[in-house]
Homo-oligomer: A and B are copies of this chain.
Amino acid sequence: MGDKSAQKKKLIVERARRVFMEKGYKEVTMKDIVEECDISRGGLYLYFQNTREVFEEVLRCGQEDADDGFEKSIPEHAAPSEILALFLKEQKKEILSKKPSLNIAVYEYFFENKMMPKENLLKKQFDAAVYIIEKLIEQGTENGEFYCEDARGAARNIMYVLEGLKIASFTRGIPESAVDREIMYVMQGLIAEE
């Protein structure tokens, strides 16, 4: 039972994710999910009481497959600067992607549910990324690739720029060149400096 039930729940979450990617968070109704899932009206309510619960499960289950693509693409003995470049490239791809993604739904959800200091998914992801970038910059500084006196500050600056670019992309659309330019700018700040 726990098994089949869990199976079903997973299926619902999977299908629901598509709906949220397509329509954002607020727009989605239980009916939308029901229809996407080929499930009965009442059936959905066995597992979730409202779209909020469904979406939170989508978030919870979604973290696994998050950066799969990225991590796999890192060569064995890559230099810190190379890894950082790869990371930024990955981010660029996401920023520019025309494919529907959960991003907008996530923002809509957190606009409505701001109040979550520590369990906030966005914050966790942001902090984790800052940490990784910081370490890369430190390593790069040690082996002479980078010159940077405030690795953490630089890492944070990069992440805020990326967040700004994301929003710019979702709310206006920006050309690839603009993303490249910004990435270039922050990379410059790490390398040259003298």
State A15–B68 Cα separation when bound (angstroms): 48
Q: Which residues of B contact A167 (CB under 8 A)?
A: 107, 163-164, 166-167
Docked pose: A173 CA to B122 CA in angstroms: 11
Interface: A85 (CB within 8 A): no
Contact B173 A163 (CB under 8 A): no
Q: Establish whether residues A24 and B185, one from each chain, have CB atoms under 8 Å apart when the complex forms.
A: no
Q: Give the interface residue-count category, chain A.
A: 35 or more
**Residue A128, interface by CB 8 Å:** no
Other-chain contact of A172, B114, B153, B186, B193 (Cβ < 8 Å): B114
6 pairs, CB–CB < 8 Å, chain A vs chain B: A107-B111, A114-B171, A120-B171, A120-B172, A150-B185, A163-B163
Chain A: residues with CB nearer than 8 A to chain B? 24, 26-27, 104, 107-108, 110-112, 114-117, 120, 122-123, 126, 150, 153-154, 156-157, 159-168, 170-173, 181-182, 185-186, 189, 193
- Give 5 closest A-B pairs by Cβ, nearest first: A160-B164, A163-B164, A110-B171, A164-B164, A26-B26
